[in-house]
Amino acid sequence: MSNIRGRFAPTPSGLMHVGNAWAALLAWLQIRSNNGQFVLRMEDIDGPRCRPELAGQALADLRWLGLDWDEGPDVGGPHSPYTQSERIPFYEEALDKLLACDKLYPCFCSRAELLAVASAPHGLSSEGPAYAGTCRHLTLEQQRERREAKTPSLRFKVDETRAITYEDGIAGTMRFPPGVGGDFVVRRADGIISYQLAVVIDDAAMNMTDVLRGADLMDSTPRQLLLYEALGLPAPRFAHVPLLMGEDGKRLAKRHGDTSIAGLKEAGVGPERIIGWLAFLAGQTDRFEPIAATELIGYFDQGRIPNEPITISETLMKQLFY
């Protein structure tokens, strides 16, 4: 077996839809075509937004589509637990390490104060406006005074002099300017660990060699690379697949119709039809036809995946049903 390892890590805050299935299928094919190990991890770190029943539904939907995994919350494995809400001690340990090497500082800015700069140009589009560094240079006395009135978040100090460059497996060479969007939160004021930190700790702990995910997370990559470096952890190879978009230019969502896997199943759309449709969109087949996920493994070619957003026209969407 190859030592290549990849994963799919859904967030159980809503029903799995074709956009999720798109990323899951391509991540699975990348690993299975290289005879590697595929991991399923549940990213439920944001407790208020996540629901256990949706986590169970996600596992059922993936299995119904014909995808499997070697390690995961339901099958276990050597890197358990595979559910983020059960991995909090690992994140706290990483925070302690970052604090010890002076990579973090407390931020007392309120949500209203941060929203006030929301109209500023965004350094990283999906990550919101760049943080202005308001709390970065507070003295210890100023920090103490502010702690009496407000529990702070913790922010990572981004080197404002270094550009970040990495080679994306689909998008090619990616370069982010110095400062990469400003200092970012690694623990919220309510104590919830940020996605950025949790995903780095988990991918390193689970020995991920490759991370294939949606292009909406590309802007997170430079921040995660900085965390890998600061913690002395090896970074995986990254590849970002384009998003599926509606004809209105917005990401495929409920407003474009019910594209949930559960909804499609209820409408009588079979798993091989969904897989064949996604494979055609990904350039893996030259025409749309129902096909099992396992049949795609032998001729998966990452180089054929488009690197621009894919517009799902009404005609394309109808292919799923007829």
- Residue range 229-269, pLDDT digits in tens: 999 999 999 999 999 988 888 887 666 567 899 999 999 99
Instruction: For residue 101, say whether it is annotated as part of any ligand binding site.
Output: no
The fold for domain 5-86+242-321 equals Rossmann fold (3.40.50)
Domain boundaries, the chain: 5-86+242-321, 88-197
pLDDT at 123: 43
Instruction: For residue 157, say whether it is annotated as part of any ligand binding site.
Output: no
In this predicted structure, the answer to whether residue 63 has a pLDDT above a threshold of 90 is: yes
Q: Percentage of the chain surpassing pLDDT 70?
A: 92
CATH, domain range 88-197: 3.90.800.10
User: What are 266-276's pLDDT values in tens digits?
Assistant: 999 999 999 99
pLDDT band with cut points at 50, 70 and 90 for residue 118 = very low
Instruction: For residue 50, say whether it is annotated as part of any ligand binding site.
Output: no
Global pTM exceeds 0.85 = yes
User: What are 122-178's pLDDT values in tens digits?
Assistant: 344 556 678 888 999 999 999 999 999 999 999 999 999 999 999 999 999 999 999
Instruction: For residue 9, say whether it is annotated as part of any ligand binding site.
Output: yes
Which residue in the block uniquely carries the two structure tokens 């969502």? 253
Known catalytic residues?
A: 254
Alpha-carbon distance of 111 to 134, in angstroms, equals: 13
Instruction: For residue 213, say whether it is annotated as part of any ligand binding site.
Output: yes
